[in-house]
Amino acid sequence: MNGVTGRMGYRQHLVRSLLALRGQGGLELRDGTVLWTEPILVGCSEQALRTLAERHGRDRWSTRLDDVLADPSVDVYFDAQLTSARADALRRAIAAGKHVYCEKPTASDLDDARLATAAGVKHGVVQDKLFLPGLLKLRRLLDGGFFGHVLSVRGEFGYWVFEGYWQAVQRPSWNYRVADGGGIVRDMFPQWEYVLRELFGPVRTVQAQVATHLPHRVDEHGRPYEATADDAAYGLFQLGGGIVAQINSSWAVRVDRPELVEFQVDGVEGSAVAGLRGCRVQHRSVTPRPVWNPDVPVAAPFREQWQEVPDNEVFDNGFKVQWELFLRHVVLDEPFRWDLLSGARGVQLAELGLRSSAEGRRLTVPELEL
């Protein structure tokens, strides 16, 4: 596990996924045997790795990736490093014959995302948003035909990331440097690509406007620096089947909604608003009749006229669920469709989004093959 000293690598992948799997007694397979994971912690900081290893009772850690890849007992390489370091490490792992699983984006540009895969090596990309309770409920509505013909999707994502001058930053500074693979387009457009594709259809065209709203920030060590990467992106996407999607992504917006991300889906028969955990619906039969009259106050608040979708099941951590699916894919050869090609599609959409903004025009998204 390379990159476990970072926020996502540590909290979601090490603690809430693989260590959680160990805590529940391993992953039971369909033949009754139990798969037992042995995480090896890899990173650049010896002190940070030693601290994590001692905290969680792990005795295997290293700052030398090649030594770990040369170990024949290692089956899977996982990467949650900086984006700019990921493609090279994945190539080395593939060359060593390891199955690979990694965070997205899989690379800083599309050329690097076109990773060659050796025969017999399985590969997967984390696409955690699909396993959020809110989007699982949205999927349930789609599968049940609740919307009828889907017309449009509107997404709002983001929050205020402090500049660091008078309150500490809550995101690492590399996120705001182009040279390090930073920028909200490179971070979030790969997310929106797989969410839109899986739920509604492939992205056919993209038109985006990006901005660096806050060009001056302070890093983790209190040093001022110039932000060279975009911190906001406003995207318009045409999907297969004529569905129109528009998604705003920003680290320079204050939140006035129940959750940090929300998607509103409007269909002929009904609409839904889904977030990280919740999902609310309004069916055609109970849709109110709004009338534009700015001289009269709203008699019934619109948000009170929606119905909450029940859980109907217990939702596990989405990262852990996908880890379980990938491990089953490695051991049992069960299907796993979120592969390096899906990761490359996300990188492609990010590149096209940046190019669309620079050129001021809508761009077609070509079909992609590795």
The CA distances from residue 283 to 141, 142, 286, in Å, are: 11, 13, 6
Distance CA 214, CA 25 (A): 47
What is the per-residue pLDDT across 243-295, written as a single tens digit (0 to 9) for each? 999 999 999 999 999 999 999 999 999 999 999 999 999 999 999 988 888 99
pLDDT on residue 117: 56
Distance CA 192, CA 18 (A): 26
- Strand pairing of 34-35 and 27-28? antiparallel
pLDDT on residue 12: 97
User: Three-class SS of residue 362?
Assistant: coil
Distance CA 249, CA 262 (A): 11
For residue 264, report the phi and psi dihedrals to the nearest 5 degrees: -105, 125
Instruction: Report whether pLDDT(199) > 70.
Output: yes
Distance CA 319, CA 14 (A): 10
What is the per-residue pLDDT across 118-176, written as a single tens digit (0 to 9) for each? 557 899 999 999 999 999 999 999 999 999 999 999 999 999 999 999 999 999 999 99
- Structural contact between residues 80 and 6, judged by C-beta atoms closer than 8 angstroms: yes
Which residues are 237's β-sheet partners?
A: 206, 245
Distance CA 196, CA 208 (A): 16
The terminus-to-terminus CA distance of the chain in angstroms comes to: 25
The closest alpha carbon to 152, from 196, 187, 121, belongs to 196
pLDDT on residue 119: 59
Distance CA 280, CA 106 (A): 33
Distance CA 104, CA 12 (A): 14
Q: Enumerate domains of the chain plus CATH numbers.
A: 7-129+318-339 (3.40.50.720), 130-313+348-357 (3.30.360.10)
What's the pLDDT band for 370 if we cut at 50, 70, 90?
A: low
Report, in angstroms and rounded to the nearest whole number, the Rg of the chain calculated over CA atoms.
22
SS3 content of the chain, % helix, strand, coil (to 5): 35, 20, 40
What is the per-residue pLDDT across 205-238, written as a single tens digit (0 to 9) for each? 999 999 999 999 999 999 999 999 999 999 999 9
Instruction: Report whether pLDDT(317) > 80.
Output: yes
pLDDT on residue 368: 87
pLDDT on residue 260: 96
Distance CA 180, CA 229 (A): 9
CA atoms within a 13 Å half-sphere pointing along the CA-CB vector of 212: 17
